[in-house]
């Protein structure tokens, strides 16, 4: 099944339409993304760190990331792309990271060219490794994967440090190393995305994140300059936490949440999303089972 999802995802990337992958902050939100008809699910390292009450500076472990992404994969038939940071260690650790996430069922993962410990891609003070090290990471990932359809995505944070020309050179080198897709972080304009599109012959990914370095380009704008896939990594978490904070303020001030009940997902809709009925049907089918002789 997983191999089939990966094959279909690669085929979709080769099509004329840009794919959109909202970020899931829980497995249940991944199921909602699927129900709303999106092309896939993104699993953000920043979101996983935030869920643990940690900043996005490389503090999460491979075990934590693998556990969470396995839970997300379990509840959806959509392809899942996961943020693998810098690989959780040196080259041999990176190889194990690729295989662990592949076994968890992801359709693809991205690795970045920052130094350890990494920083959020839209913060100042980032540092990147040299091209040789960046290339070695991607080469190791491509070599380590067992399923050739697993998508290895190379992220580069060079734009904010050395400019667009250096980013284009780095992107070409990463493609030569075997990257299936290029993720140029924090580009400043649509023209820069168009330049990356012209520079490489693999799909390119755009990170559409609020409060970041770049404008919130629309899907139509990104598609018009050749972007193949857009991720919305932290949007649902920010919306959910914003709503939770407002609700707590209301509860503290008013002593009740009655005014906010219309904004809540209803019990019946939540149960529908959880597929509650299917568990009852399964339970009933087991309880009612008898053999031909009438024995349970």
pLDDT digits (tens, 9 = 90+) for 214-231: 789 999 999 999 999 999
- Contact between 43 and 68 under an 8 Å Cβ cutoff? The reply is yes
* Structural domain range at position 29: 2-233
194 lies in the same domain as 269: no
pLDDT of 21 strictly over 60: yes
180 lies in the same domain as 100: yes
**Domain limit, last residue, from 233, 253, 272:** 233
**Domain limit, last residue, from 189, 215, 233:** 233
282 lies in the same domain as 158: no
Portion of the chain with pLDDT greater than 70, in percent: 91
Active site residues per annotation: 42, 56, 83, 85, 110, 112, 120, 155, 185, 207
Instruction: Identify the residue with better confidence: 116 or 253.
Output: 253
The CB-side HSE value for 158 (13 A sphere, CA atoms) comes to 25
What does the pLDDT look like over 22-40, one tens digit per residue? Answer: 999 999 999 999 999 999 9
Q: Average the pLDDT over 113-118 and give the result.
A: 82
Write down the pLDDT at residue 286: 56
Residue 292 counted as domain residue: no
| Pairwise CA distance, residues 119 & 85, whole Å | 9
Residue 295 counted as domain residue: no
Q: What distances in angstroms separate CA 132 from CA 15, 83, 114, 139, 143, one per listed residue?
A: 32, 22, 13, 10, 16
Domains identified in the chain, total number: 2
Residue 121 counted as domain residue: yes
What does the pLDDT look like over 273-294, one tens digit per residue? Answer: 999 887 776 666 656 555 565 5
- Contact between 41 and 79 under an 8 Å Cβ cutoff? The reply is yes
194 lies in the same domain as 274: no
Q: Average the pLDDT over 38-60 and give the result.
A: 95
Q: How many residues does the chain have?
A: 296
- Contact between 80 and 102 under an 8 Å Cβ cutoff? The reply is no
- What is the pTM assigned to this prediction? 0.92
- Contact between 171 and 162 under an 8 Å Cβ cutoff? The reply is no
198 lies in the same domain as 265: no
Q: Average the pLDDT over 142-150 and give the result.
A: 98
73 lies in the same domain as 220: yes
145 lies in the same domain as 267: no
Residue 221 counted as domain residue: yes
| 296 confidence band (pLDDT: 50, 70, 90) | very low
Peptide bond into 117 cis (omega under 30): yes
72 lies in the same domain as 198: yes
Write down the pLDDT at residue 98: 98
146 lies in the same domain as 179: yes
What average pLDDT does the structure give for the chain?
93
- Contact between 214 and 187 under an 8 Å Cβ cutoff? The reply is yes
107 lies in the same domain as 135: yes
Side by side, which strands form the sheet with 151-156? 41-43, 80-83, 108-112, 151-156, 181-184
What does the pLDDT look like over 160-194, one tens digit per residue? Answer: 999 999 999 999 999 999 999 999 999 999 999 99
The encoded tokens of residue 174 equal 């990463």
């Amino acid at each position: 099944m997983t191999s089939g999802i990966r094959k279909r995802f690669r085929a979709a990337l080769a099509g004329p339409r840009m794919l959109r992958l909202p970020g899931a902050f829980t497995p249940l939100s991944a199921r909602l993304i699927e129900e709303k008809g999106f092309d896939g699910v993104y699993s953000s390292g920043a979101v996983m760190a935030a869920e643990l009450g940690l900043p996005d500076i490389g503090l999460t472990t491979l075990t934590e990331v693998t556990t969470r992404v396995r839970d997300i994969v379990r509840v959806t038939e959509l392809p899942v792309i996961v943020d693998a940071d810098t690989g959780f260690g040196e080259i041999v650790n990176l190889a194990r990271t690729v295989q662990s996430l592949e076994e968890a069922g992801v359709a693809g993962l991205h690795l970045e060219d920052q130094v350890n410990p990494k920083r959020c891609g839209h913060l100042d003070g980032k540092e990147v490794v040299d091209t040789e090290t960046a290339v070695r990471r991607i080469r190791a990932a491509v070599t380590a994967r067992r399923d050739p359809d697993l998508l290895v995505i190379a992220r580069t944070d060079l734009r904010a440090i050395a400019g667009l020309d250096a980013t284009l050179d780095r992107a070409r080198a990463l493609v030569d190393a075997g990257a299936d897709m290029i993720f140029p972080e924090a580009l400043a304009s649509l023209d820069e995305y168009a330049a990356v599109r012209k520079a490489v012959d693999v799909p390119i990914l755009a990170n559409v994140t609020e409060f970041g370095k770049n404008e919130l380009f629309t899907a139509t704008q990104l598609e018009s300059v050749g972007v193949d896939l857009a991720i919305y990594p932290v949007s649902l978490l920010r919306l959910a936490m914003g709503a939770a904070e407002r609700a707590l303020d209301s509860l503290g001030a008013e002593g009740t949440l009655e005014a906010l009940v219309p904004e809540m997902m209803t019990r019946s809709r939540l149960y529908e999303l959880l597929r509650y009925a299917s568990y009852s049907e399964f339970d009933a089918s087991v309880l009612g089972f008898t053999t031909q002789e009438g024995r349970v």
